[in-house]
Amino acid sequence: MSRATYPLKLPNSVKKAAQRLAKEGGVSLNQLIAAAVAEKIGVIETAADFFKKRAGKAKGDGLMKFLRNAAPSGHLDARIPQSGDSHEEQGTTGK
């Protein structure tokens, strides 16, 4: 594995917390930071892949149509069924 050196400037509070966690974990500060960066990369790349797959071939105009039909800000509660509403008021037939 090739390695690269990168001078890292951390706020003192972050460095102290990282040093504490490294000591508690029995690893060096360098190992902790390298593992944390690798973990963050994995999370971001996994999320990006998820959203790409989820979006599929969707286009922005479908989203815009959905947003145009959404309730105006502050009026969302009017669309949520309340206890005591009949099935007709909730948009269901109860069947």
The pLDDT tens digits of the residues spanning 54-95 come to 777 777 777 777 777 776 666 555 555 666 666 554 455 544
The pLDDT tens digits of the residues spanning 4-33 come to 898 999 999 999 999 999 999 999 999 999
pLDDT of residue 78: 54
Rounded to whole angstroms, the Cα distance separating 85 from 95 reads: 16
Rounded to whole angstroms, the Cα distance separating 82 from 63 reads: 28
In the 8-state DSSP scheme, what is residue 76? G
pLDDT of residue 30: 95
